[in-house]
Amino acid sequence: MSLLALDQVRITNNADGRELVKGVSFTLEPGGVVGIVGESGSGKTLTCRAALGILPEHFVVSGGSIELDGHDVAALTPRQWTGLRGSTISAVFQDPASYLNPSLTIGSQIAEVAKVKLGLRRREAKIKTLQLLDSVRLPAAVFDQYPHELSGGMQQRSLIAAAIAAEPRVLIADEATTALDVTVQAEILDLLAELRESTGLALVVVSHDLAVVARLCEQVLVMRSGEVVEQGPVERILYRPEHDYTRLLIEEHESYGLERYLVAT
């Protein structure tokens, strides 16, 4: 059984009747990585939000099905969703600063997730948080620091620590490295790859940047205007693209060389 399975998912904005996602399918196994690439507005984020049960108001899954760890998500009550979110599926997004509370220390924000989701007491939650900081390669001193004292890359590492605090099996990284400079971007992508290897975490990596997706993913979906124009193993998509739009995405990177796509092996 797949951890996450989307089958012909369609998403409609009921406020105006527009269908914005028109049939997305993929499956994710434990430790697997699926990438979704495409231009702004192509439906990548809505697809992820549907899998997280957090579609914006008026938006509905109007076709197909989503199964999360064996549950048909359409049948979940809000209470069941709350139970699964964080502990089965979790996410990190672009612009880490906006997800951190500026008036609370990093440690207390991560520890709060451990307390609420794992039912840990204060002392246990602190120990767990220090372990999490270590696993995202942040020094223990970050525990007592405030968000504004950290760089963008460190803020994103803190959010990854919070996102994995309740030991989810799937992590969605939606443009999680977009706001960061290229070196830090690569460090965060390597961190996600490490977490995947050490914990079996499955990843959905969303980016408008094919290089980001290619660095981590085995399977790639190329989306345009709500449709999947091409889907397959990353090497096939990179070296033998079948769709003109995919070729265009690849050409955008030509000046950097194709090797930028692939992790140094």
Residue ranges that bind ligand ATP, judged by CB under 6 A: 13, 20, 38, 40-46, 56, 208
Strand partners, 28: 4
CB of 56 to ligand ATP, least distance (A): 4
Backbone angles phi, psi at 47, to 5 degrees: -60, -45
Q: What number of other Cβ atoms are within 10 A of residue 47's Cβ?
A: 30
Question: Can you tell me the distance from the alpha carbon of 218 to that of 138, in angstroms, rounded to the nearest whole number?
Answer: 28
Smallest separation (angstroms) from ligand ATP to the CB of 20: 4
Give the length of the chain: 265
Least Å distance between CB 240 and ligand ATP?
A: 24
Dmax over CA atoms of the chain, in Å, equals 56
For ligand ATP, the closer of residues 97 and 116 by Cβ is 97
The residue number whose beta carbon is nearest to ligand ATP equals 45
Nearer to ligand ATP, 10 or 126 (CB): 10
Cβ-based nearer residue to ligand ATP, 24 or 106: 24
- CB closer to ligand ATP, 111 vs 206: 206
Determine the Cα–Cα distance for residues 178 and 209; give it in Å rounded to an integer. Answer: 8
Minimum Å distance from CB 18 to ligand ATP?
Answer: 8
| C-beta of residue 231 within 8 angstroms of C-beta of residue 222 | yes
Least CB distance to ligand ATP at residue 46 (A): 3
What is the closest distance, in whole angstroms, from the C-beta atom of residue 126 to ligand ATP in the complex?
35
Residue 61 or 142: which CB sits closer to ligand ATP? 61
Which of 32/43 has CB closer to ligand ATP?
Answer: 43
